């Protein structure tokens, strides 16, 4: 029996850590959520780098055109003047002619990170004191801008970031991605901040004071960073500014993903995490109880089988409950078994970066190096392989 419990210890310990993260998320959720008093919120410029028409793009962008905050400036950028996403922007500009909008076309091909290349072109056109870096799959909620801008009441705060939740799944790969995103970029982000004081900044909702951005030379120091959002937060903190996690999550909408799209994004993200902080990367496995529990079923021990079942059921119940709280909506019953698939899938994804040196991003292959640096892969990738990777 002692040997049996030693075999069960990793699964039980992992579940305990996951339960702790859930408790911290609940504490964050129920904590007082208002700062700033009667001080007026600053003006906001929103940067929206675009590349192609993602699912739900028009509804996502429209949520910013209808935002209930003034003054507000929207700046859209695309590297290709023929990018179809620009057609969506122009259609919205006709629908909302009173909105302050700028469209910037073109980017420096010498900048390894294509998103940063766009941000650098957009920066000189910003007119307000706070800039929001926001991806194309973000959908704004009513009053969200005002609630997050209250975090800047302290003049020493240079950057505010939001935990990320993902919603809208209609297909199984989208459910896997949305649940993983909510778990990793919200649940564990909150846990890392409250438990370890660690800021794990995600660029879906990254708000930065222009003065802080000026102190770090704009985006010039993150041109070759794959995780430009995280590295920018490190630079801002090193310049003496405070970082703050918002009391408001940011919502991304993802409906119909494919397994190949899921793999391309998550293998890239995992590869970057492994190279940015190799000492912390193994800790990710400790927050995934199911891969530790299922091997117990092969031992032939009834006690271990019951333990494994209990761990799996408890983990699924915790995730369903916390995901409902963080996402603001229940998980459809048909997607509950997807949690089991997700945890095994991402256990496999975790292993790949230990051996892979390249990753796909927006139709291009990149080499990953220490510190999360990226550069276009000089070895041409055959078109069919690139299409599958992208």
Looking at residue 41, its pLDDT comes to: 78
| Domains, the chain, ordered by start | 2-26+261-358 (no CATH), 43-258 (3.90.550.10)
Q: What is the pLDDT of residues 6-18, one digit of tens each?
A: 778 999 999 999 9
Looking at residue 34, its pLDDT comes to: 60
Return the residue matching tokens 């310990």: 13
Q: How far apart are CA 69 and CA 72, in angstroms?
A: 6
- List alpha helices for the chain, DSSP H: 2-30, 57-65, 84-95, 114-122, 144-149, 172-182, 188-196, 210-215, 228-238, 259-276, 289-293, 302-327, 338-351, 383-389
Residues 6+ positions from 289 with CB-CB distance below 8 Å: 11, 14, 15, 18, 311, 312, 314, 315, 343
Looking at residue 162, its pLDDT comes to: 96
Share of the chain above pLDDT 70, in %: 94
pLDDT level of residue 382 (50, 70, 90 thresholds): very low
Across the chain, mean pLDDT equals 90
Average pLDDT on 170-190 reads 94
The beta-carbon contacts of 233-240 under 8 Å, at least 24 apart in sequence, are: 233/159, 233/161, 233/199, 233/201, 233/206, 236/158, 236/159, 236/208, 236/212, 237/158, 237/159, 237/199, 239/158, 239/212, 239/215, 240/215
pLDDT at 226 over 60: yes
pLDDT at 235 over 90: yes
pLDDT at 49 over 50: yes
Under DSSP, the state recorded for 253 is E
Looking at residue 108, its pLDDT comes to: 87
- Of residues 378 and 76, the one with the higher pLDDT is 76
pLDDT level of residue 3 (50, 70, 90 thresholds): low
Q: What is the pLDDT of residues 61-70, one digit of tens each?
A: 999 999 989 9
Looking at residue 4, its pLDDT comes to: 62
Tokens of 130: 């706070």
Average pLDDT on 109-127 reads 94
pLDDT level of residue 261 (50, 70, 90 thresholds): confident
- Of residues 123 and 36, the one with the higher pLDDT is 123
Average pLDDT on 167-184 reads 94
The answer, as to whether pTM is greater than 0.75, is yes
Q: How far apart are CA 116 and CA 107, in angstroms?
A: 9
pLDDT at 211 over 90: yes
Q: What is the pLDDT of residues 340-364, one digit of tens each?
A: 999 999 998 899 988 888 888 877 8
Looking at residue 2, its pLDDT comes to: 53
Average pLDDT on 165-185 reads 94
Looking at residue 379, its pLDDT comes to: 58
Looking at residue 386, its pLDDT comes to: 37
pLDDT at 37 over 80: no
Q: What is the pLDDT of residues 140-157, one digit of tens each?
A: 999 999 999 999 989 999
């Amino acid at each position: 029996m002692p040997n049996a419990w030693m075999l069960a210890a990793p699964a039980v310990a992992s579940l305990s850590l996951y339960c702790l993260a859930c408790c911290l998320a609940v504490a964050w959720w129920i904590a007082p959520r208002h700062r700033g008093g009667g001080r007026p919120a600053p003006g906001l410029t929103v940067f929206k780098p675009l590349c192609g028409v993602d699912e739900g793009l028009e509804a996502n962008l429209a949520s910013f055109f209808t935002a209930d905050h003034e003054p507000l400036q929207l700046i859209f950028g695309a590297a290709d003047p023929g990018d179809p996403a620009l057609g969506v922007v122009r259609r919205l500009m006709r629908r909302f002619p009173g909105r302050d909008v700028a469209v910037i076309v073109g980017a420096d091909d010498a900048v390894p990170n294509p998103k940063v290349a766009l941000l650098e072109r957009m920066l000189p056109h910003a007119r307000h004191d706070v800039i929001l870096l926001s991806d194309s799959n973000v959908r704004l909620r009513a009053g969200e801008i005002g609630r997050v801008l209250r975090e800047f009441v302290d003049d020493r705060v240079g950057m505010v970031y939001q935990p990320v939740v993902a919603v809208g799944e209609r297909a199984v790969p989208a459910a896997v991605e949305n649940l993983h995103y909510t778990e990793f970029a919200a649940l564990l982000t909150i846990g890392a901040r409250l438990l370890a004081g660690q800021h794990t900044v995600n660029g879906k909702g990254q708000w930065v004071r222009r003065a802080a951005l000026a102190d770090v030379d704009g985006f010039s120091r993150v041109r070759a960073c794959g995780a430009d959002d995280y590295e920018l937060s490190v630079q801002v903190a090193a310049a003496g500014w405070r970082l703050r996690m918002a009391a408001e999550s940011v919502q991304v909408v993802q409906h119909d993903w494919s397994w190949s799209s899921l793999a391309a994004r998550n293998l890239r993200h995992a590869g970057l995490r492994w190279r940015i902080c190799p000492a912390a990367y193994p800790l990710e496995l400790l927050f995934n109880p199911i891969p530790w529990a299922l091997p117990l079923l092969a031992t032939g021990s009834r006690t271990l089988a019951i333990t494994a079942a209990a761990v799996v059921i408890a983990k699924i119940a915790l995730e369903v409950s916390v995901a409902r709280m963080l996402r603001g909506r229940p998980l459809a019953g048909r997607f509950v078994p997807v949690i089991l698939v997700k945890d095994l899938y991402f256990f496999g994804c975790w292993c790949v970066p230990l051996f892979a040196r390249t990753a796909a991003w927006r139709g291009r292959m990149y080499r990953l190096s220490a510190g999360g640096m990226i550069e276009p892969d000089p070895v041409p990738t055959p078109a069919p392989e690139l299409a599958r990777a992208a």
